[in-house]
Amino acid sequence: MALDQSFVGRSYPPTAPYEVGREKIREFAEAVGDPNPAYTDLEAAKALGHCDVIAPPTFVFAITFKAAGEVIADPQLGLDYSRVVHGDQKFAYSRPVRAGDRLTVTSTIETIKSLAGNDIIDVRGEVRDEAGEHVVTAWTKLVARAAEGA
Partner 1 sequence: MTAKIGYDEVEIGTELPARSFPLTRATLVRYAGASGDFNPIHWNEKFAKEVGLPDVIAHGMFTMAEAIQVVTDWVGDPGAVVEYGVRFTKPVVVPNDDQGALIEVSAKVAAKLEDNRVRVDLTAMSAGQKVLGMSRAVVRLA
What's 22-34 look like in SS3? Answer: HHHHHHHHHHCCC
Looking at the DSSP bridge assignments, the partners of residue 136 are 93, 127
Which runs of E-coded beta strand occur in the chain?
A: 18-19, 84-93, 102-115, 118-128, 134-144
Residue 58: CB minimum distance to partner 1, A: 5
Q: Give the shortest CB-59-to-partner 1 separation in angstroms.
A: 8
Q: How far is the CB of 44 from partner 1 (least distance, A)?
A: 10
Per-residue CA distances from 90 to 38, 60, 143 (Å): 22, 11, 15
Shortest CB 27 distance to partner 1, Å = 5
Cβ 99 vs Cβ 20: under 8 Å: yes
Of residues 10 and 50, the one with the C-beta less far from partner 1: 50
Query: Comparing C-alpha atoms, which of 88, 87, 77 is closest to residue 2?
Result: 77
User: Minimum Å distance from CB 49 to partner 1?
Assistant: 5
* Nearer residue to partner 1 within complex by CB, 10 or 83: 83
Nearer to partner 1, 6 or 47 (CB): 47
Residue among 78 and 87 whose Cβ is closer to partner 1: 87
CB nearer to partner 1: give 64 or 104: 64
Interface ranges with partner 1 (CB under 8 A): 27-28, 30-34, 36, 38-39, 47-50, 54, 56-58, 61-62, 65-66, 82, 85-93, 95-96, 139
Q: Which residues of 65-75 are buried (b: 16+ CB within 10 A; e: fewer)?
A: bebbeebbeee
